[in-house]
Structure 1
Amino acid sequence: MADELPLWFPPDSSDDSSYSSILFFFQNLIKYAELQDMGTSNRRRYTEHQREVGHETLMADYFDKHPKYNDDIFRHRFRMSKRLFLKIESGMEENDSWFQEALDARGRKGVTPLQKVTSAIKQLATGNTPDENDEYLHMAERTSRECLEYFYDTVCKIYAPEFLRRPTSDDMALLYEAHEEKSPSRYVR
């Protein structure tokens, strides 16, 4: 780095005012900073994702009065019924403020709770990667990853006491009974 200017050059001996010394110092500081900054910026790049379009598309495809895709296609794509999906979505919104609709840092409408839950469930149901949600839900990869993380935490908080516990003897009896109803002849000799 011998080519770079030192941070401080003393002013000419003919000019001894403190103002010119300070000015000269800052001029050199700016030149030094320009040499250090090779065109990269520490500022984040903003990409317009058109979140409203993503929400409108999602509504038109699955949740409007006359959706583009019927309930069978919904079940196939999300691996659950629409009723269960909406129950989970409302539970997320009630129990975690992150899933509530809010404004983003620029004061614009953020990603809707429906988009967030859709992102998380699509990732779980189909193995989609977070970056695949940009095209359909108009959501950044980072937001999509956060959706999955918050979804995990909130599901555990809401449903762990009832569903993520060891089965009781009554639960086991119900499971065996349901299994026998589905395939009674398979295990009978």
Structure 2
Amino acid sequence: MHRPLFLHILSALETHDSYFVQKRDVAGKIGLSSLQKVTAAMRMFAYGVSADSVDDYVRIGESTTIESLDRFTKAIVANFSDEYLRSPTKEDTTRLLAIGEQWGFPRMLGSIDCMHWTWKNCPIAYHGMYTGHIHTP
């Protein structure tokens, strides 16, 4: 994901829900940052991993990750559903078909799903993460 897009989403979430704003607790200790909470939620969505597996990467607890995911989902729907979570209009379809044509994929609407292609030089560490329905990377 491009950094400006991530920061746009982060800003929208912070504006929508104060949970994503970094605060101090009662003892004056700084809490988790919005970057940690949003990254944990996005990693769970992107890689389909469990909440406790995000702890090693983001340094955030399982219960906080689950709450972040729940609030992230609700905030995304509230902020972006009118623009992105809707059926495409005729103008959208025309624009997407033109983009596909420009990139050499005429009459294609959407993106290419490469999960059926075998990744010959897939690192061993990624085998489980990138295994398709035929059980090969």
TM-score (norm 2): 0.70
State the secondary structure of the residue aligned to 1:144: helix
Partner of 2:64: 143
Letter in 2 for 1:149: D
Return the alpha-carbon distance in structure 2 between the equivalents of residues 184 and 140 of structure 1: 44
Letter in 2 for 1:89: L
Runs of 4+ in 1 over 4 A off after TM superposition: 184-187
TM-score (norm 1): 0.52
Call closer, same or farther: CA 1:146–1:177 in 2, change over 3 Å: same
Return the alpha-carbon distance in structure 2 between the equivalents of residues 158 and 166 of structure 1: 16
Per-residue displacement from partner, 1:113-148 (whole Å, max 9, x unpaired)? 011111111111122211022223221100001111
Residue 104 of structure 1 deviates from its aligned partner by: 3.4
Q: Which has the higher contact order (CA 8 A, sep 6+)?
A: 1
State the secondary structure of the residue aligned to 2:101: helix
Q: Which has the higher helix share?
A: 1
Task: Note the residue ranges of structure 2 that are not aligned, 5 or more in a row.
Answer: 109-137
Call closer, same or farther: CA 1:172–1:145 in 2, change over 3 Å: same
Letter in 2 for 1:100: V
Residue 160 of structure 1 deviates from its aligned partner by: 0.5
Return the alpha-carbon distance in structure 1 between the equivalents of residues 30 and 36 of structure 2: 13
Letter in 2 for 1:157: A
Partner of 1:23: none
Mapped contact 2:97–2:106 kept (Cα < 8 A): no
The structure 1 residue matched to 2:81, chosen from 140, 160, 176, is 160
Letter in 2 for 1:119: A
Call closer, same or farther: CA 1:184–1:116 in 2, change over 3 Å: closer
Aligned: 1:118 with 2:45: no
| Superposition CA RMSD, Å | 2.0
Return the alpha-carbon distance in structure 2 between the equivalents of residues 185 and 162 of structure 1: 25
Call closer, same or farther: CA 1:169–1:99 in 2, change over 3 Å: same
Call closer, same or farther: CA 1:173–1:99 in 2, change over 3 Å: same
Mapped contact 2:101–2:107 kept (Cα < 8 A): no
* Pairing of 1:38-77 with structure 2 (within 5 A): none
Task: Note the residue ranges of structure 1 that are not aligned, 5 or more in a row.
Answer: 1-79
* Aligned residue-pair number: 108
Letter in 1 for 2:12: G
Aligned: 1:89 with 2:31: no
Partner of 2:117: none
Say which one has the larger Rg: 1
